[in-house]
Amino acid sequence: MFSSKLMIAAAMAAMASVSAHAENFYISGSASWNDMDDVDTDGRFNSNFVTGEGVVIPAGVVIPAGTRLQWDTDVDNSWGVQLALGWRMEDWRFEAEYAWAEHDVEGHKNVRVDGLNIDGVDAAVLLSGVLTPLGFTVGEIVDGGQGDISADYLFFNAYYDFDTGTQWQPYVGAGIGNAWVDVDYKPSDVRIVDDDDSVFAWQVMAGLNYLCSDELTFFGGLRWREANDAEVDSRLLPAEFDIETESLIVELGVRWNFTMY
């Protein structure tokens, strides 16, 4: 993750250098409320797994590699930030943007192996070689939540501002880039997943500018942000998972325009 932050910093610095020679260089920042969709944690065993004593599922059952392993993950809404460097060309704006968001995991449920729900099975089933039941179920373990899903983003955005002849300007925009997604699942302090991935991301935006002066603009709007599924490995089981990240975002921000002569 440290190297990704260096890449982001380098890209932003390069944008600043280029923009310094543009007619209307600007910087902007916004705070946002991010409503992230609950996650369908979808994966497969990547090697054979021998069950522990799950009572309903006895010890010694071999689950073959390739068997599907899934559960539903509930995440909390959270806040995020966006910082951008860009320039304006008439009604168009182009920018490089860094964004960050983090969402706490509220809980997991509906754990399924090859379609069979194992929420009611003793949790020892997940511990190969354990021959004594733990006395609590898989569902009780994962319901505790804990952990988070966080992401750093680097986008290249294009906006169009509609000139209404007033201080109010609607805008639309779109961006493509990259997301560095970090997934930490540790329900009941059991570390199930602690891994990250770098994936393609995109977003669309719409909102309203308020032109306070030639230099200062306030804005507010909505975004839909989505990334390709992050592929992460489990630390507890020989399995890998695809984690989807999709968010509806409400933001308020400010933009400062530096007019070059």
CATH number at residue 149: 2.40.160.20
Q: What is the pLDDT of residues 185-223, one digit of tens each?
A: 999 888 999 999 999 999 999 999 999 998 999 999 999
Model pLDDT, residue 144: 79
Q: How many domains does the chain have?
A: 1
Range of the domain at 185: 2-259
In whole angstroms, give the CA distance from residue 109 to residue 73: 7
Q: Tell me whether residue 175 is exposed, middle or buried, using C-beta atoms within 10 angstroms of its C-beta: 0 to 12, 13 to 18, 19 or more.
A: buried
Kindly report whether the global pTM for this prediction surpasses the value 0.95. Answer: no
In whole angstroms, give the CA distance from residue 125 to residue 137: 9
Q: What is the pLDDT of residues 21-57, one digit of tens each?
A: 446 899 999 999 999 999 999 999 999 999 999 998 9
Q: Tell me whether residue 129 is exposed, middle or buried, using C-beta atoms within 10 angstroms of its C-beta: 0 to 12, 13 to 18, 19 or more.
A: exposed
